[in-house]
Structures are given as structure tokens and as C-alpha cells.
Amino acid sequence: MPHRGLENAVKDGVINQSQAELLKDYLTAISVQAAIANPAREETVDAIRGFHDVFLSIGILCLVVGIYALNSFIGLFLGPILIWGMAEALRGWHSTRLPTITLASCFAGATAFCGLMLAETLDMAEPAKDFQEMICSAGFAIIGTLLFLKRFKTPFAWLLLAASIVLFIYALLALQLGEETIKHYWHVFFLCCGISIFIAAMGFDSRDPLRTKPHSDIAFWLHLGAAPLVVNGVMNLNADYISSTVPAALVTIGLVLSLACLALIVDRRAILVSALIYLGISVADLTDSLATELDSSFAFALIIVGMFVILVASSWQTARQKIVNQLPLWLHPYLPPVRKNHA
């Protein structure tokens, strides 16, 4: 936490509380000015650095899929060892982001397959067996991803870890509460998971507001995983409480605008991208309801969404500046600074 040294200084009697508060305000202002002078880098995706990565990733996928297609029993034992070995071989190479992502995904899938094979040996009646298999598969994927993450420090593995944990908890709740219960409240469950992942992503983002460290890459992948869960959960809750088409569409548009403000504040476009499909559906519903003679609601929705995206993209930093300036000063050091130029 920032300024923790000031709290320790007060406890040790070096300075008093009023002096600490003055110093804290001063250091906060200095950090904000420094962030503005050294703006954060754009929300970049460094997964692909060249076609060499694509070419190598294709080879990895062909090899792994071929082994499992040849003999699943051989793949059960040889697959994880081979994938780990390739990851070790590529560890010292440069420009291997996409191959490492591919290997992380393959290793998570290979360990999940091991869990699935283990669960199939257990004797349990349907449908509990399906959820038991899901629990074992997701549990093995969690363990495998944690091992891969600890060894290779791949930011993308955090997304795999989050997805595995969500699947594990879903299957565990379904096994305990029943399939019908979990299906009835699935959107509440995914909304809670999405919010949890979003909070984790913001934790990494707050540790690297200038986006110069691996924390920013981890946050990017977690935001990418959290966004569809949050958006789908919120939109389906809206559908549960509002049955009329026009009010539901209007509320959805309001929610999309709220998510756009959140995306601007944290400077993460993934949140907004996930909501665009709902914006298009809502515009199409409004077109059909308010002008039934129009047969081009789909085209009209695309036009509105396109205009909205272009408008937001072209004025991203200007809009960010207006919103961020309204936030409390103590929040600014945790957020990416606003650029002077447009995004």
C-alpha cells in the first residue's frame, strides 16, 4: 500500500498524525504528476510477436493433438510430459509468447484429461457422475495450471486458472445443490465469479498503473475472462426482472453505458467489447418495437454499434480525463494516468 512508511513513522513517533496527513497529500500529488508525465502504455496484446510464433504454435498443436488422437492411453501419460518438455525447451527462447500460451493451454487440457480419466473409474450414478467428472477434471486443471504458472510465469495461465476455478466451483455447487437449482441461478453464479475475477484483475492493475511490469499482462487476461461473466450475469438478471421488450432494451442500454464508464475509468476496453453484442440486440429490439415497418433492424443495430465504438475509441482519453478528474484524489495512483493525446 502507498505511504505505509508514513504510518510506521507515526507509530515510531518520528512524526505526528497531522504531519503524516500533510506528507501523504503531498506525495499523492507528486505521484499523480509523475504518472501524467510518464503515461501508461496502451492496452497492448503481446501474444503474437511475429509469424514465427504462429508457425511454431501450429506445430505444437499438431503434435499434441496427434498424440492424443493416436492413442488416448498413451496421451494420458506421455502428453503432459511432452508438453512440459517443450515448455522447458522454449523457456530460454525469445519471441515465444504465443507458443507459450499454446503450451499452457495444452498442459491445462492434458491435466484435465487425466482428471477425467480418473473420475471415470469411480462408480456413481447419473447425473452426479457428470459433475464428479467435472470436479476431477477442473481440479486437475487447477493443479496443472498452478505448476505451469509457478515454473514459467506465463500471464495467460492466470486466465486458465480462473476458468478452471469457476468450473470447479460450478460443478461442486451443482453436485451439492442439484442441477436444477444451479441452472436456475446460473447467471447469479457467473456474475459473482466475474466480479471476483474483476477484483483480482484490479488488484494486479493497481500494482502496475503505468503498465510496465508483468502485473499489467496478468490483469489484461483476467479482465478478458471477467468481462463476459459480468456482462452476461448483469444482462440476464435484467431479463429476469423486466419482461417487456422496450423497458428491458432501455435498461440494457443504460447498463452498457455504465460499463463503458467503468471501462474508461480502469482503461480496459475488454469490459466494453463484451457488452457491445447486448447493445446491438437492444437497439434491434427497440427498432422492431418502435418502428415495426422497418425490416432492417439488424443493419440499423450494426450502424449504431459501429458509430458508438468509433465515437468512444476516438475520444477515449478525453472521456477518461473528464471521468477520472471527478474521482477522489487518493484513487488516482491506482489508475492508469490519462494521456494527453487521443487513444
How many other β-carbons are positioned within 10 Å of the β-carbon of residue 304?
Answer: 18
Q: At what angle do helices 297-314 and 316-324 cross, to 10 degrees?
A: 70
Per-run averaged pLDDT (10 residues), the chain, 343 residues: 63 79 72 52 64 88 90 83 92 73 94 90 73 92 96 93 95 85 84 94 87 85 89 72 63 81 87 78 69 61 84 87 88 79 45
pLDDT value at position 64?
92
Please give the helix or strand (H or E) that residue 123 lies within, else none. Answer: none
C-alpha cell at 109: 487440457
Query: CA-CA distance, 56 to 187, in Å (whole number)?
Result: 38
DSSP states of 19-76: HHHHHHHHHHHHHHHHHHHSPPPP----S-SSHHHHHHHHHHHHHHHHHHHH-HHHHH
pLDDT value at position 342?
43
Question: By C-alpha distance, which of 99, 69, 71, 67 is closest to 86?
Answer: 99
273-300: burial string, b at 16+ Cβ within 10 Å, e else: ebbbebbbbbbbbbbbeeeeeeeebeeb
Q: What share of the chain is helix, strand, coil (3-state, %, to 5)?
A: 80, 0, 20
Q: What are phi and psi of 340, to 5 degrees?
A: -80, -30
pLDDT value at position 93?
64
**Residue 19, Cα to own-chain centre: how many angstroms?**
41
pLDDT value at position 317?
85
pLDDT value at position 92?
64
In three-state secondary structure terms, 244 is coil
pLDDT value at position 43?
63
pLDDT value at position 343?
41
pLDDT value at position 48?
67
Q: What are phi and psi of 130, to 5 degrees?
A: -60, -45
- Backbone angle region of 337, left / alpha / beta, with phi > 0 → left and psi within -120 to 50 → alpha: beta
pLDDT value at position 90?
85
Q: What is the dihedral of CA 138, 142, 148, 149, to 10 degrees?
A: 140
Domain boundaries, the chain: 1-38, 46-149, 185-336+339-343
Owner of C-alpha cell 515448455:
87
